[in-house]
Chain A
Amino acid sequence: MRPGARPGLLADLPRLAVLSLGALVILAPYLWMLSASLKPGSEIFRDSLALLPERLYAVENYSKAFREVPLLRFLFNGAVVCGLILLLQLLFAVPCAYALAKLRWRGRETMFALVLGGLLIPAHVPALPLYAGLAAAGLLDTYAALVAPFVISVFGIFMFRQAFRALPDELIQAARIDGMGELGIVWRVVLPNAWPTATAFATFSVVAHWNDLFWPLVAVQSAELATPALGVLFFRAEEAGNDVGALMAASVVVTAPMVAFFLLAQRRFIQGVATAGLKG
């Protein structure tokens, strides 16, 4: 079982069998979700475990899903909200991380201590005061309400600081000698040199906010602003929510983008989400 010594296929079979069995359990909800989205109601309700539909009903299920709720709108909202959050998180976190990693100034240790303190606070904790504040400002039920609480990512500051500290000082000195300003150094020298950290953070951030249900549920009431996670709840509340085939079709549509994205960029994803596990 040591790495390097590749056992024969026969010796490897028990391992493969156990792992495949587990994988089947993990994949079961995906398989049946997909299967039910292709079947007419009569087959779903029939007593059988067949995965493949006898009569393909995909067009009916999927068109019903798209007709009942604005699924494309949910996906669009998800993309807009995740994109805005990521952009703003970078705008706030990257310069701050650079100042913490490479510049000497009074208050730096205090600021870093506050960042570490912030890492301990789950996002649900400031939710009530933020909600009250947004309500008072008349900003509930807007994109701004969906994005605002997340523009500061203490985790992002922390992650980028660690990455920037590893960069050689000579790199920054050389840019200064070339007459580059500090902001230029941040965006054109330091960030490009910490690219793996940036992509890991980006995948982590996008996954976290695409999948977040709690805050959209709090901040938004109208379907026009719903993110995919909230959209699923809207669909279930509709009459079509009782139509298993259409409901599964809607679930497939909102799950597919992130799964496809993951399968295309597996390594980055696993790196981003797993190393970033601390906060979410």
Chain B
Amino acid sequence: MSEARTTPALRWALGEAAAGWLLAAPAATALFLLLLGPSLALIALSFTDWELGAPGLRWIGLDNYAELLDDRTFLTALRNTLVYVGVVMPISIALGLGIALLVEGGTRLRAAFRAIYFLPVVSLLVAMATAWQYLLHPTIGPVNRLLGMLGIAPINWLGSSDWVMTSLCAIGVWENIGYVVVLFMAGLTAIPSELHAAAEVDGARSPWARFRLVTWPLLGPTTLFVVTIIAIRCLRVFDTVAALTRGGPNNASEVLLHVMYKEGFSYFRIGYSAAITAVFLAVVLALMLLQNRLLDRRVHYA
């Protein structure tokens, strides 16, 4: 293509098209082979009874999905996953927003606090889950010792079905809060400080009034973005379950991706596991669709 400088415009247009194709071709091939193709294959597999190692597979229509409706483990996992999202997401967002407002509300130690709160996001979650397991250990864990000093009887945080989801949700909040803080801090810096001053002149005397009238509405788009990201991060909960509880005790902490992992990669029921994955994908897509709808509406107001 180096001769392009001397050739007429038409030659260059042809060369440009060829260059475009050639440069995009490797990525396009890989995209089909590794992402789009397998994803379509997954949907197709969810309508079959394929098991890895079995000689053949049969098209069984919606049978896998029908089985899901009767599968108590799956239903528990679906419910637990939604509970996890419904608990971890609002708590992390509320706490994260509060922390972001406090961090941005002054100049001292801003960078230090941001770094500390963000630390769990970049830390190896399996390893930190192991640290949490020690913290929450029923007999030697510092958490129960602390509670013991307050006269509270030891709690079996990860080993009892009453407490295990609470514990996993707490770890989830710990893991996600820094993400929320960082995103809201970015959103807050984008709000011009004159607006707060103007609101104060107009009679919004208390910080709460200024937050309600200025900060919160202007944070709208950021909030929507944060909600989607954190919801999807929560839907993907897997590491802590795989490391700490393996869905136990008694399936009390089973979640979607862990059931999918067990069915597909431990029992090799590929077709059935594919149906679980399809449900997971449907939930993720529904969430993104919802966000898009809301975002469209917001943009018209702004």
Q: List residues of chain A with CB under 8 Å of any chain B CB.
A: 1-4, 6-7, 9, 12, 15-16, 18-19, 22-23, 25-30, 32-33, 36, 44-45, 47-49, 91-93, 95-96, 98-100, 103-108, 111, 114-115, 117-118, 120-122, 124-133, 135, 148-149, 151-152, 154, 157, 176-177, 179-183, 186, 207, 210-211, 213-214, 217-218, 228-229, 232-233, 236, 244, 247-248, 250-252, 254-255, 258-259, 262-263, 266, 269-270, 273-274, 277-278, 280
Contact A103 B142 (CB under 8 A): no
Q: List residues of chain B with CB under 8 Å of any chain A CB.
A: 1-2, 4-5, 13, 16-21, 23-24, 26-28, 30-31, 34-39, 41-42, 45, 52, 95, 99, 102-109, 111, 113-128, 130-132, 134-135, 140, 142, 145-146, 149, 174, 177-179, 182-183, 186, 193, 196-197, 207, 225, 229, 232-233, 236, 238-239, 242-243, 257, 260-261, 264-265, 270, 273-274, 277, 280-281, 284-285, 288
Known contacts A29-B132, A149-B34, A154-B31; A258/B122 CB under 8 A: yes
Contact A259 B140 (CB under 8 A): no
A105 → chain B closest CB, angstroms: 3
Contact A232 B130 (CB under 8 A): yes
- Binding site secondary structure of chain A: helix
Interface CB pairs A-B, < 8 A, 12? A92-B26, A99-B19, A99-B20, A103-B16, A105-B21, A152-B27, A152-B35, A176-B4, A213-B126, A213-B243, A229-B124, A229-B125
Contact B34 A103 (CB under 8 A): no
What residues of chain B lie closer than 8 Å to A2, measured between beta carbons? 193, 196-197
Contact B38 A130 (CB under 8 A): yes
Docked CA distance A151–B183 (Å): 28
What residues of chain B lie closer than 8 Å to A157, measured between beta carbons? 27
A39 → chain B closest CB, angstroms: 11
Among B36, B38, B115, B243, contact of A233 (Cβ-Cβ < 8 Å): B243
What residues of chain A lie closer than 8 Å to B265, measured between beta carbons? 131, 217-218
A264 → chain B closest CB, angstroms: 11
B21 → chain A closest CB, angstroms: 6
Contact B242 A213 (CB under 8 A): yes
Docked CA distance A100–B103 (Å): 40
Known contacts A15-B102, A228-B124; A96/B280 CB under 8 A: no
Among B99, B119, B186, B264, contact of A259 (Cβ-Cβ < 8 Å): B119
Q: How many A-B residue pairs have CB under 8 A?
A: 296
Known contacts A26-B117, A114-B31, A270-B118; can you find 7 more A-B pairs with CB under 8 A?
A3-B104, A30-B123, A33-B130, A179-B5, A228-B127, A274-B179, A274-B186
What residues of chain B lie closer than 8 Å to A154, measured between beta carbons? 31, 35
Contact B243 A29 (CB under 8 A): no
Contact B119 A26 (CB under 8 A): yes
Known contacts A117-B36, A179-B2; A128/B45 CB under 8 A: yes
Docked CA distance A159–B239 (Å): 27
Known contacts A26-B177, A232-B127, A270-B182; A176/B5 CB under 8 A: yes
Contact B145 A47 (CB under 8 A): yes
Contact B243 A274 (CB under 8 A): no
Among A49, A133, A213, A277, contact of B229 (Cβ-Cβ < 8 Å): A277
Among B31, B103, B225: residue with most chain A CB under 10 A: B31
| Closest CB pairs A-B (n = 6) | A105-B20, A126-B38, A96-B27, A33-B131, A129-B38, A103-B20
Docked CA distance A28–B120 (Å): 11
Contact A125 B119 (CB under 8 A): no
What residues of chain B lie closer than 8 Å to A266, measured between beta carbons? 111, 115
Contact A269 B130 (CB under 8 A): no
Contact B270 A49 (CB under 8 A): no
Docked CA distance A45–B145 (Å): 11
What residues of chain A lie closer than 8 Å to B42, measured between beta carbons? 125-126, 128-129
